[in-house]
Amino acid sequence: MTVLTGECDGCGSKDGVLIGTGKGGTDYHCAKCIQDLALYDAAEQHMELLLGEALRAWVIAWGNNPQMMRLLGSIVGDAVAHMQQEGPQHGR
């Protein structure tokens, strides 16, 4: 028997409901965390749309240059490290 309510996997509140994760699994999330997940998914899709083509074109133009690929890796690595240190910046 599937339990439809439980502790939110996002924030720990007691009013989580069972939802599909889109990856074949299920999690419990409260209304606020469901909104956050939807926002993050939309932001990820938007970023891919905005940056994907530009980055692909850049790699086609510069991908054979090891120095440029190190530069790209450094930029991406710095951004990831900053996000891990600072956490998500809501509303900015």
Given this model, what pLDDT does residue 72 score? 84
Tell the residue number behind the tokens 């510069």, with chain if given. 62
Q: Which residues contact 26 (CB under 8 A, 6 or more apart)?
A: 18, 19, 20
Given this model, what pLDDT does residue 89 score? 56
Please work out, in degrees rounded to the nearest 5, the angle formed at the alpha carbon of residue 48 by the alpha carbons of 16 and 77: 90
Given this model, what pLDDT does residue 76 score? 81
According to DSSP, residue 22 is labeled: S
Classified as helix, coil or strand, 86 is helix
H-helix or E-strand spanning residue 70:
helix 66-86
* pLDDT one-digit tens code per residue, 19-76: 887 777 778 999 999 999 889 989 999 988 988 888 888 888 888 888 888 888 888 8
Q: Which residues contact 45 (CB under 8 A, 6 or more apart)?
A: none
Q: Where does the pLDDT of residue 82 fall: very low under 50, low under 70, confident under 90, or very high at 90 and above? A: confident
pLDDT at 11 over 80: yes
Classified as helix, coil or strand, 12 is coil
